[in-house]
Structure 1
Amino acid sequence: MGNGDFIVKLSRYALVLAVALLPTCAFAQDSTIVRQEIDKRPYIYIEASGRIETAADLTKIAISLSEKRKSPEEATKLISDKIAQLRAALTQLGIADSSVETKSFQFAKVYLIAKDKKGEPVSSFADPDRDKFDGFRATYNAVATLATTDRIGEVLSSASALGIEVNSVTFASSREAEFVEQVRKIAADKARSRAEVYAQSLGGTLGDLLNVKEGTGYNPDTMAYTPLEGYADLAVLDPSTAPMAIAPGKLTYEASVSAKWALAPAK
């Protein structure tokens, strides 16, 4: 290749470089580029998890009630009366410490949607200017939390007799916060113990803790979470039961941790 060819190619590269730098120069005052430096020290990276299984001592029953009447007052009173009857029934069952927590209460006007000549609704949505007004509907949603898991069938029977729908039955623990802390500690202790074993076996010692995050699947160099690998956050499994099998079974609490220590020479 002659000198002329080299000069031409070099000029082209200079032109491309100049064009590429233009946007950077134009916005240099308004933006900051942050580059993460990777720690080059030897390290030990450990992923560990903790798990606890325990019996449930709380029952959560999600209920709903919907009533349509000519006025909002009538619909509201009917729902209030039925909820009061449910509370009384729970008290009679010896569940005096139970509580019914309202999640939502809604009103809506009800319309009879007009039909075409074939008797089919002309639309799937009500239109006040076209359809006939047919009263007010009140909808009530709540969760009854019972400090027991032994009287579920009787509670469901009481709700059914009042026309109250049961949407779900789940189980929980009154010590959930305590168990969550325990599984976190189990995961952290496991990670530390494993790291110490590896460090000693490799002829070194465990140095400073460089990084720690809840979850697994991180890149050990940057501790950045890699999509589609593991879980990025603490996993507390929300227990549920099959609709027809009303039995509390076991609750499971889990946590995982990723930790990174410097690997120091043996002392």
Structure 2
Amino acid sequence: MQRIVIVLALALGLAGGAAAQEEGPRLTVRGEGEASAPPDMAVITLGVTERASEAAAAMDAASGVAARILERLETLGVEARDVQTSDLSLNPVRRGDGSEAEPEIVAYEASNRVDLRVRDLGSLSDVLAAVLEDGANTLGGLSFSVSDPEPLLNEARRDAVAKARSKAELYAEAAGVTLGPIVRIDEGGSGGGFPRPMAEMRAVKDVPVAAGETGYTAEVTIVYELVD
């Protein structure tokens, strides 16, 4: 039994050594690609915050304004799938200098916020003006994106591969070797939705808003065999 184990171990060792000898020199390069385009969609967080002496009164006031906002968005053609409640809260407002063990509650504050997608950027000004008229008093998180990012991601991936190839050719030329076949391609992180400056300004309720461009990135690592 011991002899068989030794023979097998030697055979595996020889096979591993042969495989290691067959593996020639390699070059590993990384490429980062990017692509951008004007956005076709805006994402906004808006809502209402109301304060009253009673908790129920504060919540009723906030709910009433929120209901008017949702009704107005529907009349403006915003689909239900593009409106989602992101925050609903009710908190006591306390008064005190910090010396009391339990500061006195003087009011209650209710908040109702929604995340809104505006797919027609041409209507963005009208949408914001309408909800402000209906009582919205909180607005934040305005960002721009594209509704179908896959084509831009693919363009960024192609750019990443091209840059990795260009880098590999440069290194091979400088080292006096020739690139062989690709051994492996690994994709790194892909991302997008970040803004890029652009000279387009839109007036939103007398406030200038720059839509800019939306950029997407991709990373790729490529391993080449090298030929002397």
TM-score over 0.5 for the pair: yes
Structure 2 residue identity aligned to 1:72: A
| 2:27 match: secondary structure | strand
Structure 2 residue identity aligned to 1:238: F
| 1:239 match: secondary structure | strand
Among residues 128, 133, 136, which one is paired with 1:156 in the alignment?
A: 128
Q: Deviations over 1:21-51 (max 9, x none)?
A: xxxxxxxxxxxxxxxxxxx953323332222
Q: How does 1:180-219 map to 2 (within 5 A)?
A: 180-192=153-165, 195=168, 199=172, 202-209=176-183, 212=186, 214=188
Structure 2 residue identity aligned to 1:135: A
Among residues 76, 93, 107, which one is paired with 1:135 in the alignment?
A: 107
Deviation of the 1:149 alpha carbon: 0.7
Task: State the number of aligned residues.
Answer: 197
CA gap of 1:212–1:95, structure 2 versus 1, over 3 A, is closer
2:190 touches 2:216 (CA, 8 Å); kept in 1? no
Structure 2 residue identity aligned to 1:156: L
| 2:28 match: secondary structure | strand
CA gap of 1:263–1:246, structure 2 versus 1, over 3 A, is same
Structure 1 residue identity aligned to 2:138: E
Structure 2 residue identity aligned to 1:206: G
Q: TM-score, normalised by structure 2?
A: 0.69
2:209 equivalent in structure 1: 246
2:18 equivalent in structure 1: none
Unaligned runs of 5+ in 1: 1-39, 114-121, 215-232
Q: Deviations over 1:104-139 (max 9, x none)?
A: 2222122222xxxxxxxx23x9x563x322232212
| 1:95 match: secondary structure | coil
1:104 touches 1:141 (CA, 8 Å); kept in 2? yes
Q: Deviations over 1:163-222 (max 9, x none)?
A: 4221232111111244224312431244246536765894534145257452xxxxxxxx
2:55 touches 2:109 (CA, 8 Å); kept in 1? yes
Could you tell me how far apart the structure 1 residues matched to 2:122 and 2:81 are? 13
| 1:105 match: secondary structure | strand
Q: How does 1:1-267 map to 2 (within 5 A)?
A: 41-96=24-79, 99-113=82-96, 122-123=97-98, 129=102, 131-161=103-133, 162-192=135-165, 195=168, 199=172, 202-209=176-183, 212=186, 214=188, 233-239=189-195, 244-265=207-228
1:221 equivalent in structure 2: none
CA gap of 1:109–1:84, structure 2 versus 1, over 3 A, is same
Deviation of the 1:158 alpha carbon: 1.9
CA gap of 1:145–1:213, structure 2 versus 1, over 3 A, is closer
Unaligned runs of 5+ in 2: 1-22
1:62 touches 1:143 (CA, 8 Å); kept in 2? yes
| 1:175 match: secondary structure | coil
CA gap of 1:97–1:68, structure 2 versus 1, over 3 A, is closer
1:3 equivalent in structure 2: none
Could you tell me how far apart the structure 1 residues matched to 2:124 and 2:47 are? 17
| 1:174 match: secondary structure | coil
Structure 2 residue identity aligned to 1:45: T
2:47 touches 2:136 (CA, 8 Å); kept in 1? no
Larger Rg: 1
Structure having the higher strand fraction is: 2
